[in-house]
């Protein structure tokens, strides 16, 4: 049973999205010189809110069906678009004895979803120059110096190892859950007495609650105040999360969700766990209304742009948190239709990240404690996030794959589109001029020094002339499709087919044409 629960919890964290590296040191808060011409990606004909709101009845039915199938007493759920909670609802009860209905303001323990808050606190301290991710953990927790590693060549555990679950500590579900209310002394005594390693540090990912408890201890040491207080003051309060708590006994009884397990065909109360040293890994209690603000904050990191940074941490720091480490290929992944869809999955800083076979990125984390299950997932390129909490032990609170199918298949949500940079527009016209006329002045102006080194000018001219002879008269030249600021493609429609043109510019201050690829696809009728 314990092994089964372990897999369930890991699944909540790393398999919650769809089909499912470098260290940045002591960043200062200055603004670097930046381009005034860069245009960030934007949504075309943005109707995301309207489309998702139309799905509300179907999402509600999915949630209710899920609650019945999984024997869940109560579920609260929500969807955010950018900075707005556009769907917020609930079903069932948060207290079976008192028949209290779940609402968007009900307070659920979100368990391991707490981890990204702890990670954010570490990153904030890093940004302020108060610690480095490469610092040995022993610098802040001296007891770590006495650890006995598995091998003589094992690297010393640093802060980033804890953030990315690569410290070599063993997976500790559900043991870690039951340590939630332990004291700081218990945590340091655990380290003093020596811990058992399952892996070499920096060698492999393995989920560790204890690692995040240690991060909480570091936050307390560096900030000079309990990590709960630091996170409340520096993250929760600035985001307006005024109904997010650490200790359940401080919450009104008509607001607090009571946790249950399903046993012998009936619900049994789980003991409510008090806050303590392991709270950094899973202690937060919040509502859909409040947590939506946190999801919106993570979404605000995208796209990169030159707006003023106004959050508890910088947008670039959020993106860093959402970058996977030790990514792995899940070759047997499937989509919501059961069709093969491999994905790449990894763990960032308190967040799981998946990119599936369609290229869609999902950032997520699950949470599970006795009496509770929770999950949130957001899609950076789409500006959309979903979340749900429930009060049943180690249970996923929603059918995420089915919700994704509604969002991306039925509603047809589309990601932002990157505008074409000025230099790509200019170079496109010049590329057309070269391949049609081989104008010597234009060549001198835009061809990089490498261009004719691997293939001679005469060979280029002969090859492209033959292609245009087959293609026939030019009928139209399409718009450029940018991959980034210096790379793009476009089509030339001709009498007999389509000429596809792809080009890449050089990294020079005046970017020039370093790579050109041209191909011809003849019409089927020819």
Q: What tens digit of pLDDT does each residue of 353-386 get?
A: 999 999 999 999 999 999 999 999 999 999 999 9
Measured distance CA(208)–CA(275) in Å, rounded: 18
70/39 same-domain check: yes
pLDDT tens figures, 63-90: 999 999 999 999 999 999 999 999 999 9
Measured distance CA(134)–CA(116) in Å, rounded: 19
- % the chain with pLDDT above 90: 91
439/374 same-domain check: no
Instruction: Choose among 6, 4, 2: nearest CA to 366.
Output: 6
70/183 same-domain check: yes
Measured distance CA(321)–CA(378) in Å, rounded: 13
Indicate whether 466 belongs to any domain. yes
52/153 same-domain check: yes
Indicate whether 335 belongs to any domain. yes
326/199 same-domain check: yes
DSSP-assigned states of every residue in 212-224:
HHHHHHHHHHHHT
Q: Using the 3D structure, point to which of 354, 389, 410 is the last residue of a domain.
A: 410
Q: Give me the mean pLDDT over the 116-121 stretch.
A: 98
Q: Using the 3D structure, point to which of 379, 410, 441 is the last residue of a domain.
A: 410
Indicate whether 295 belongs to any domain. yes
Question: In which band, very low, low, confident or very high, does the pLDDT at 8 lie, cut at 50, 70 and 90?
Answer: very low
Torsion of CA 401, 404, 405, 411, to 10 degrees: 170
Q: Give me the mean pLDDT over the 422-441 stretch.
A: 95
pLDDT tens figures, 301-349: 999 999 999 999 999 999 999 999 989 999 999 999 999 999 999 999 9
pLDDT of res. 10: 46
Q: Give me the mean pLDDT over the 433-450 stretch.
A: 94
Q: What is the span of the domain harbouring residue 468?
A: 422-522
Q: Give me the mean pLDDT over the 128-140 stretch.
A: 98
46/114 same-domain check: yes
pLDDT of res. 206: 97
Q: Give me the mean pLDDT over the 137-151 stretch.
A: 97
Q: Name the range with the highest mean pLDDT among 216-230, 326-340, 429-443.
A: 216-230
Question: In which band, very low, low, confident or very high, does the pLDDT at 233 lie, cut at 50, 70 and 90?
Answer: very high
80/128 same-domain check: yes
Indicate whether 495 belongs to any domain. yes
CB atoms within 10 A of CB 450: 12
Indicate whether 416 belongs to any domain. no
Indicate whether 415 belongs to any domain. no
Question: In which band, very low, low, confident or very high, does the pLDDT at 525 lie, cut at 50, 70 and 90?
Answer: low
385/474 same-domain check: no
CB atoms within 10 A of CB 480: 20
Give me the chain's average pLDDT, please.
Answer: 94
63/170 same-domain check: yes
156/182 same-domain check: yes
pLDDT of res. 31: 75
Q: Which two tokens stand for residue 516?
A: 């050109």
Q: Using the 3D structure, point to which of 388, 410, 432 is the last residue of a domain.
A: 410
Indicate whether 417 belongs to any domain. no
pLDDT of res. 17: 63
pLDDT of res. 524: 82
9 has a pLDDT exceeding 70: no
386/472 same-domain check: no
13 has a pLDDT exceeding 90: no
The CATH number of the domain holding residue 404 is 3.40.710.10
6 has a pLDDT exceeding 60: no
pLDDT tens figures, 15-67: 456 443 333 334 455 678 998 889 999 999 999 999 999 999 999 999 999 99
Q: Give me the mean pLDDT over the 240-250 stretch.
A: 98
Our count of domains for the chain comes to 2
Question: In which band, very low, low, confident or very high, does the pLDDT at 174 lie, cut at 50, 70 and 90?
Answer: confident
Which of the 8 DSSP states describes residue 392? Answer: B
The CATH number of the domain holding residue 475 is 3.10.450
pLDDT of res. 305: 96
33/156 same-domain check: yes
């Amino acid at each position: 049973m314990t092994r089964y629960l372990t897999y369930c919890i890991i699944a909540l964290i790393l398999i919650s999205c769809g089909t499912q590296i470098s260290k940045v040191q002591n960043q200062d808060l200055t603004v670097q010189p930046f381009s005034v011409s860069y245009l960030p990606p934007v949504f075309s004909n943005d109707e995301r809110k309207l489309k998702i709101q139309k799905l509300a009845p179907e999402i509600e039915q999915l949630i209710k069906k899920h609650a019945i199938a999984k024997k869940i007493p109560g579920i609260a759920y929500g969807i955010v678009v950018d900075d707005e909670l556009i769907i917020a609802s609930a079903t069932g009860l948060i207290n079976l004895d008192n028949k209290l209905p779940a609402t968007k303001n009900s307070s659920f323990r979100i368990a391991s979803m707490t981890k990204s808050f702890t990670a954010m606190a570490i990153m904030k301290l890093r940004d302020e120059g108060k610690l480095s991710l490469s610092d040995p953990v022993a610098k802040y927790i001296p007891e770590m110096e006495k650890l006995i590693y598995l091998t003589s060549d094992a690297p010393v555990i640093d802060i980033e190892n804890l953030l990315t679950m690569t410290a070599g500590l063993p997976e500790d579900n559900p043991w870690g859950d039951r340590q939630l209310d332990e004291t700081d002394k218990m945590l340091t005594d655990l380290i003093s007495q020596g811990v058992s390693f399952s892996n070499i540090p920096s060698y492999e990912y393995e989920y560790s609650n204890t690692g995040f408890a240690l991060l909480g201890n570091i936050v307390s040491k560096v900030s000079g105040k309990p990590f709960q207080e630091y996170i409340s003051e520096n993250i929760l309060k600035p985001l307006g999360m005024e109904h997010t708590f650490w200790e359940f006994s401080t919450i009104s009884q008509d607001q607090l969700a009571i946790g249950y397990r399903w046993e012998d065909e009936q619900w049994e109360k789980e003991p409510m766990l008090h806050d303590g040293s392991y709270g950094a890994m899973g202690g937060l209690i919040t509502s859909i209304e409040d947590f939506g603000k946190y999801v919106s904050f993570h979404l605000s990191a995208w796209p990169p742009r030159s707006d003023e940074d106004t959050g508890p941490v910088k947008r670039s720091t959020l993106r860093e948190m959402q970058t996977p480490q030790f990514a792995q290929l899940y070759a047997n992944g499937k989509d919501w239709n059961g069709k093969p869809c491999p994905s790449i999955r990894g763990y960032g800083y308190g967040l799981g990240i998946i990119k599936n076979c369609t290229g869609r990125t999902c950032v997520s984390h699950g949470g599970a404690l006795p009496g509770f299950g929770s999950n949130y997932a957001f899609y950076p390129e789409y500006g959309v996030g979903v979340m749900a909490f429930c009060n049943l032990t180690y249970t996923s609170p929603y059918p995420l794959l089915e919700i994704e199918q509604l969002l991306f298949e039925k509603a047809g949500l589309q990601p932002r589109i990157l505008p074409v940079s000025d230099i790509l527009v200019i170079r496109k016209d010049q590329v057309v001029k070269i391949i049609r006329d081989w104008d010597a002045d234009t060549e001198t102006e835009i061809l990089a020094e490498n261009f004719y080194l691997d293939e001679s000018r005469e060979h280029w001219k002969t090859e492209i002339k033959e292609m245009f002879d087959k293609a026939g008269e030019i009928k139209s030249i399409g718009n450029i499709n940018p991959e980034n600021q210096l790379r793009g493609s476009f089509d030339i429609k001709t009498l007999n087919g389509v000429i596809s043109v792809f080009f890449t510019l050089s990294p020079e201050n005046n970017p020039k044409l370093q790579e050109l690829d041209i191909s011809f696809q003849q019409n089927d009728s020819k």
